[in-house]
Amino acid sequence: MPRLASEPSVEISEKSGVRYLHFGSEWIQGAMRVQRPNALELAYTREMLTGLLLRDTPWPRRALLIGLGAGSLAKFLYHKSPETKIIAVEIDPRVEIVARLHFKLPQDPDRLKVLIGDGVDYLKNCRLKFDLILIDGFDKDADPGLLDSSPFYHDCRARLTDDGLLAINLLGKKRFEKSAEMIAEAFEERSLVFQSADNGNAIALAAGGNAVDVSFEEISIAADTLYRRTGLNLASVIPRLQDSEKRIENRLLI
């Protein structure tokens, strides 16, 4: 099918050993360090996996990604969490092709299935339940569209298991407050938002049926264990969780 004139181009750039994905603009839609293709190069992608500190392994058994990008999150879960089955929903078929050709996305549909379609429609019609839902979808103007809407967040809530967690990349400071309100309403206040180390991003976390109730000592131990097991260092996230309004004495309650 020919590309419509209104569709953004899918472009790749490379600098200092890092390969970047762009959608017709300077906005970075994904990144991969060529010598470490399965590591998470961008800080916000690492922070989106904060849920790994809040639930006990083996978790997650099933993960849903809305927005494939360069495939960074999908690759990390595929290689570092072998018990996880992954579904990634991507609206632009060209992105999957680029992720496979230039960003080393694995070809293993039994464990990593890529579906081409609208993430909003997928969640509305899906009947599967997920332990982890990761939302990172934007157009060339960094607009998430209906991926940042109250009905969509309610659909996310409905598709989570009891121990399920949602993580969302919120881009653009003007949206943070409204997005946080919609997420909190959909999840009955079991949510929080913290500023990302990547300027202009924030990460929203929300819990499904079972609330998060964990001490910061337990979180620190989980972070150390995760680092030794996978190389993912989330120690810098802990102070931001401690600064959250969801901290009650020495516990995080979501």
Which residues does the annotation mark as catalytic?
136
Residue with tokens 């121990």: 163
Provide the token pair at 110. 């039994």
Query: Closest Cα to residue 238, out of 132, 226, 162, 183?
Result: 226
Distance of alpha carbon 253 from alpha carbon 96, whole angstroms: 37
Q: Please name the amino acid found at residue 61.
A: R
Distance of alpha carbon 19 from alpha carbon 33, whole angstroms: 6
For strand 251-253 and strand 10-15, is the pairing parallel, antiparallel, or unpaired? unpaired
Helix 216-230 to helix 72-80 angle (10° resolution) is 90
Distance of alpha carbon 240 from alpha carbon 145, whole angstroms: 28
Residue with tokens 């603009």: 25
